[in-house]
Structure 1
Amino acid sequence: MKDESVLIRYIKKKKGLLTVSGILATISTVVQFIPFYSIYKIIELLMIGDYSASGMIHWSLVSMGSVLAGVILLYASSMCSHVAAFDILYEIRMDILQHLSKVSMGYFTRKSSGQLMKIIDQCVEKMESFIAHQIPDIVSALIFPLVYIGLMLKIDWRLGLMSLVPLFLAVGIYSYLMGNTMKNNKVKQYHDALEAMNSNGVEYVRAMPAVKVFGLSVGNFKRFHQSIKDYRNLVMDWSNGFRSGYVLFTTLITSVVLFVMPFGAFLISQSPQDKTLSLTVMMFIILASGTTGPFMKLMYAASTFSNVNEGVKRVDEIFAEAPVIEKETTTNFSGNGISFEEVSFAYTKGNPVLKKVSFELQPNTMNALVGPSGGGKSTIAQLLLRFYDPTEGAIKIGGTDIREVTIDTLMRDVSFVFQDVTLFNDTIAANIRMGNKNASLEEVRWAAQLARCDEFIQALENGYDTMIGEQGVFLSKGEAQRISIARALLKNSPILVLDEATAYADAENEVYIQQAISELVKGKTVLIIAHRLWTIQHVDQILVCDKGEIQAAGTHDELLVSNPLYQKLWTINEETKDWEVK
């Protein structure tokens, strides 16, 4: 049995509000016929010679009252659908973000941030719009034709059939157009083109410094430029394919009166003395003029649904991505020693990144991971954090496989200071407090002081309440790195992973960061991913990683004697220390 789509699941949660919305929309639709009937009755009074004010006033009040009642009912229906839609919008987005936090990091290498932002923003927004606006419209638009057809056929089946001819022709043409759209996968192509343009647009904006420096234009970014052209060509082709048919559809849907009037005139000419027939023809002419809006709504809802449905499929694909398997257990680690046991891993099948990697990090020791770029160093760190699971082997902390504990337990016991720091558009205090959301301001300041960032924070106008980002200040990479170290200090996990924490620091900031790291590593098992070998020459153990394997392990002095690759890396590092621009 096929799983329900995300839209159906969330609509079911709000079925009470949406049911009330549908009922109110139905009543509102039925009430819409009363003004037409009132006009018919007024014309009838005039034709029989009854010019009394009481009759005119009565039907005028009935007409105005029904219009007011219809507006009120439609407003109430819209309010119910909007409340349900906004709740669903919130729940879907929160559930998507919650789910994305549990999937493997490999998913984010297949999906660009532009694609995901388009799905979370535009696709979910269209679902909200569909529920808030189209569901009441669909109910109203479905009820109106049924009441209209039944009423017309009951009053005069001949005129009723004639008034339905253009409507059925219009519906047939529109169905043909939509059938071609679905057959040619135009909606899917549209979403694919939009995602490609968004994804390449995000890349273009991120590369704006290079764009400015080298005087590039959008044309130099061939993928972005091509994605814009592809989107334009698709939309133009789609619009051109719709053009002739849509003109004919619009002409037919708005010309019901043109079908009714000649036929009505013919019937009247056959019975010129029949005043009832004349009134009936007048009634059909009045009602025919009000058919365009509801039928256009129905057709618009149909086209919107196909567009929304494609967006729903993409949201479903996110939820279909299996989360990292997490056991429901209360198991905790019994120590902070780390061991990799015959660990192999590949991002894509057949291209191994790690091959049978084995090593041990003793509790409360300083360890470094060095080697050429692309050798697998960062992958080892990411596996330790369960960003991915190994394809073979096991990773253990304190003798317990990290897959045997919850992600929360693992994240509680492991801190990670990334090379690329992410700071959120929030206060500095809130960014540091990410390490411990319950920390007091005094504890936040304590961590900042140890991380050597209290001084520059206090110099800011609002201190720890200073906003970071567009509405506040922008920190240098060195300052941001010290903020991230303050986070890790506040978290105080027994295991710490440092991914080239001084990579972007200038000389002054590097000194501060090294001082902060000295405070951070006390009493912890530490794994440092390093390229500047002089920063790790005094650690307890150095692991040399190359081509997905651990080539050697030992102290700095031991490896200088025994390992050619380490000797080469150290020589290069020593030479670069003395480089200068002449």
Structure 2
Amino acid sequence: MENESVLIRYIKTKKGLLTVSGILATISTVVQFIPFYCIYKIIELLMLGNYSAEGLIHWSLVSMGSVLVGVVLLYASSMCSHVAAFDILYDIRMDLLQHLSKVSMGYFSQKSSGQLMKIIDQCVEKMESFIAHQIPDIVSALIFPLIYVGLMLMIDWRLGLVSLVPLFLAVAIYALLMGKTMKNNKVKQYHDALEAMNSNGVEYVRAMPAVKIFGLSVGNFKRFHQSIKDYRSLVMEWSNGFRSGYVLFTTLITSVVLFVMPFGAFLISQNPQDKTLSLTVMLFIILASGTTGPFMKLMYAASTFSNVNEGVKRVDEIFAEAPVKEQDNVTAFSGNRISFEEVSFSYIPGSPVLKKVSFELKPNTMNALVGPSGGGKSTIAQLLLRFYEPTEGTIKIGATDIRETTIDTLMQNVSFVFQDVTLFNDSIEENIRMGNRIASIEDIRRVAKMARCDEFIQELPNGYQTKIGEQGVFLSKGEAQRVSIARALLKNSPILVLDEATAYADAENEVYIQQAIGELVKGKTVLIIAHRLWTIQHVDQILVCDKGEIQATGTHEELLAGNPLYQKLWAINEETKEWEVK
């Protein structure tokens, strides 16, 4: 069903285990009453005076046995719910990540990594906790009051009604507290505040070099500082609003005995010789002392559900984000010629970034895209990869519109070496193997040598098995860039996009990277986004991009002779060569 929440949808996949968990929890709850009855029978034997050692031992053993059976049943119920919960947790997270890999990159400009991390980590984790712990608790907490109420009214309706008074008052007070919370939208505000704090916290951590260099503190990051204060204020306000009602609720739940004892004493005073009535009052006192736990579980389950439900809504919002549209048929590209035909694009409606851009990259040629920052160079590359969809126009590889085939087919034909390299917390071998999952270690070492990174890898503690990142080594920007080039070499796709691949490299690493790129571009259609113009002097075609338009195309010599913008960029480029620190 379209309106069915993600939690219900995944719970249905494990309904067998959860049903067994519920049944076991129900039986366990029923068994909980046996020890109370056993205590009552022991008191009865002692009060009536006609007891034997065998009778006392019998009821003691029954009480101990029922406690043991109850614990075993509750454990089995919890195991079933935990197995179901962990399976559901795994499925939701994997499906979330799979779905996020298919949505437009525009979605990630609206949602920060901190927000998404909070949803995937904390919101999904709370679902697991709810399924593993709260579902058995809810079953137990619902069954217990029903049995308790029925048993009390059946034994003595007068004492039963008195014992129910504090329970009904407690439930009414808690219902009012929850109603107030829902009316004031506190749960949504809590999740919003937590997401803001996560998002700004990630930004603060990423900016840690600047924090250290300039001696800043969290107070200097106003958004992060404010998000912490907002979170604190919200939680304090919410807690203070709950305080009086929660104290009253807890007092009533734990004081059922205080209602039963005076009324029971009054009934006994009316007929002191009635031992049966005395025993009945004793039974009510014993049972009343056991009501606190189940009713507190019900309270925790209700508050947890409201919190989990808000998290479920946010997970649902991610799944509701439409993936990039793909054709069902896998259309192969006929060649590796690239053409942009009247392509326009806007990140924000009404503010075009690209305006009627048209150009052609001939097969097996090297092409460079240059121009001032903000002119649209990276956007052109991202449109080629379908990170975004053009507002107007068509992008073709060969004679095929890239929207007429699958994303997987497109990705098999295009490699991309980013300016900001992403390496994962895994071995160097596995980081390179991302380019081709079935590659052998010999293939990986071959491309590593071509990318000029085999030498430094061999010097690492565990060679190609060395972990990168946490509890491993940290590579320099130039070394990481060469590993990413090795990854692209292993993929060996016919089209290659390089986004300022030497931007962060020092002089020595830049030489190595240029050599690696020389190996990478052989026999491919290449688009290089460049700021250092001396690195692209000898390419087949240079496209000058400015203000969302292609201003001119040609070779280095042609543009230097006839394009003012390229002349200006080249002059600036030459000036930077002469810079020196004095």
Q: Distance in 2 between matches of 1:321 and 1:12?
A: 23
- 1:470 positional shift: 2.1
Q: Distance in 2 between matches of 1:169 and 1:211?
A: 54
Alignment of 1:93-112 (within 5 A): 93-112=93-112
Task: Report Cα offsets for 1:247-281 as digits up to 9, x if no partner.
Answer: 11111111100111111111111122211111111
Query: SS where residue 4 of structure 2 aligns?
Result: coil
Q: Distance in 1 between matches of 2:40 and 2:479?
A: 78
Indicate yes or no: 2:165 matched with 1:165.
yes
2:534 match: 534
1:430 match: 430
- In structure 2, stretches of 5+ residues that fail to align are none
- 1:50 positional shift: 1.1
2:205 match: 205
Query: SS where residue 394 of structure 2 aligns?
Result: strand
Code of the residue aligned with 1:127 in structure 2: it is M
Code of the residue aligned with 1:473 in structure 2: it is V
Query: SS where residue 32 of structure 1 aligns?
Result: helix
Alignment of 1:364-513 (within 5 A): 364-513=364-513
Question: Please, which moves more after superposition, 50-59 or 338-347?
Answer: 50-59
- 1:459 positional shift: 2.0
- 1:2 positional shift: 5.5
2:346 match: 346
2:566 match: 566
Alignment of 1:177-192 (within 5 A): 177-192=177-192
Indicate yes or no: 2:286 matched with 1:249.
no
Indicate yes or no: 2:141 matched with 1:152.
no
Q: Distance in 1 between matches of 2:413 and 2:450?
A: 20
Task: Report Cα offsets for 1:365-420 as digits up to 9, x if no partner.
Answer: 11010000000000000000001111111100011000111111100000001001
Identity of counterpart residues, as a percentage? 88
Root mean square deviation of aligned Cα:
0.9
Code of the residue aligned with 1:275 in structure 2: it is K
Q: Distance in 2 between matches of 1:408 and 1:79?
A: 40
- 1:330 positional shift: 2.3
Q: Distance in 2 between matches of 1:433 and 1:489?
A: 10
Query: SS where residue 173 of structure 2 aligns?
Result: helix
Task: Report Cα offsets for 1:270-317 as digits up to 9, x if no partner.
Answer: 122211111111110110000011001001100010011111111111
Q: How many residues align?
A: 582
2:118 match: 118
Q: Distance in 1 between matches of 2:142 and 2:431?
A: 52
Code of the residue aligned with 1:385 in structure 2: it is L
Query: SS where residue 526 of structure 1 aligns?
Result: strand
Stretches of 4+ aligned residues off by more than 4 angstroms: none
Q: Distance in 1 between matches of 2:340 and 2:529?
A: 16
Task: Report Cα offsets for 1:327-378 as digits up to 9, x if no partner.
Answer: 1112100100000011111111111111111100010111010000000000
Q: Distance in 2 between matches of 1:430 and 1:33?
A: 57
Code of the residue aligned with 1:186 in structure 2: it is K
Q: Distance in 1 between matches of 2:279 and 2:18?
A: 40
Q: Distance in 2 between matches of 1:67 and 1:443?
A: 63
Q: Distance in 1 between matches of 2:484 and 2:72?
A: 55
Alignment of 1:42-81 (within 5 A): 42-81=42-81
2:92 match: 92
TM-score scaled by structure 2?
0.99
Task: Report Cα offsets for 1:84-127 as digits up to 9, x if no partner.
Answer: 00111111111111111111111111111111111111111110
Q: Distance in 2 between matches of 1:252 and 1:461?
A: 64
Query: SS where residue 268 of structure 1 aligns?
Result: helix
Q: Distance in 2 between matches of 1:528 and 1:154?
A: 84
Q: Distance in 2 between matches of 1:3 and 1:47?
A: 61
Code of the residue aligned with 2:144 in structure 1: it is F
1:5 match: 5
Alignment of 1:298-317 (within 5 A): 298-317=298-317
Task: Report Cα offsets for 1:510-552 as digits up to 9, x if no partner.
Answer: 1111111111111110000000111111111111111111111
- 1:440 positional shift: 1.0
2:17 match: 17
Query: SS where residue 355 of structure 2 aligns?
Result: strand
Query: SS where residue 348 of structure 2 aligns?
Result: coil
Code of the residue aligned with 2:260 in structure 1: it is V
Query: SS where residue 273 of structure 1 aligns?
Result: coil
- 1:178 positional shift: 0.5
Q: Distance in 2 between matches of 1:477 and 1:47?
A: 84
Alignment of 1:258-337 (within 5 A): 258-337=258-337
TM-score scaled by structure 1?
0.99
Code of the residue aligned with 1:83 in structure 2: it is V
